Structure 1
Amino acid sequence: MKKVTNILIERESHPAKVGPRITALRESLGKTKASFADSISLDRSTLTKVEKGEAGLDIAVSERIAYIYGFGLDFIYRGELDDVPFELRAELVNHLNKARSN
């Protein structure tokens, strides 16, 4: 059981997967890196590292994103679109697809 859990967590919660979701989330909100980082009380350079997949996203920061913007932790860490505000889903998917094609 432990191996399966590690594989699932590594695959979906890995910074390389979370980073593009955070970028797409921010872009779907129409926020600059600076304004988004400030709104969630995160250092701007840390946000850059998270978006590049070079650093993990602290759960406390994810909770602030969920509280302020309505994006659930299942989207942030697992990519579940059901955990995204309905009115932002289409825009978010466009940004995710654009990131994948780059």
Structure 2
Amino acid sequence: MSLKPESLLPKSVADAMTDEAVGRRLKALREAMDLSPSEMADTLGIERTYWTRYEKGRQGLSDSVAALLVLRFSVTLDFLIMGDDSKLPVSIFEKIRSKLSE
């Protein structure tokens, strides 16, 4: 019998990794950068509908788009995927934190 890796995660981590939770963080990041959804999609070189699906939690974030977000906006995969903001640069942390608390 083998276990699925996700079944070994603490509930708080599993909840933070849902597409909806990731989407909320993506929206907060976009707003913190003062970009519209279409500007964010254009910045990443992806279809605008893809960004909307990611942000609304209708589609899981692809690895390549997550990597682009890390490279272009100095966020971490820990933040994007699991919601761990402890390693974000302070300036970005403050902007994103204010957007997530709205």
TM-score with structure 1 setting the length? 0.85
Offset of 1:8 from its aligned partner? 6.2
- Does 2:72 correspond to 1:92? no
Q: 1:23 aligns with which of 27, 31, 36?
A: 27
Q: 2:51 aligns with which of 24, 27, 47?
A: 47
The code of the aligned residue for 2:66 comes to S
- Does 2:18 correspond to 1:14? yes
Structure in which a larger fraction of residues adopt helix: 1
Contact 1:73 1:83 in 2 (8 A): no
Cα deviation 1:42-91 (Å, max 9, x = unaligned): 21111111111111100110000101110010000011112322112122
TM-score with structure 2 setting the length? 0.85
Gap regions ≥5 residues in structure 2: none
Change (3 A) 1:83 1:41: farther
Change (3 A) 1:77 1:94: same
Gap regions ≥5 residues in structure 1: none
Of structures 1 and 2, the larger Rg is shown by 2
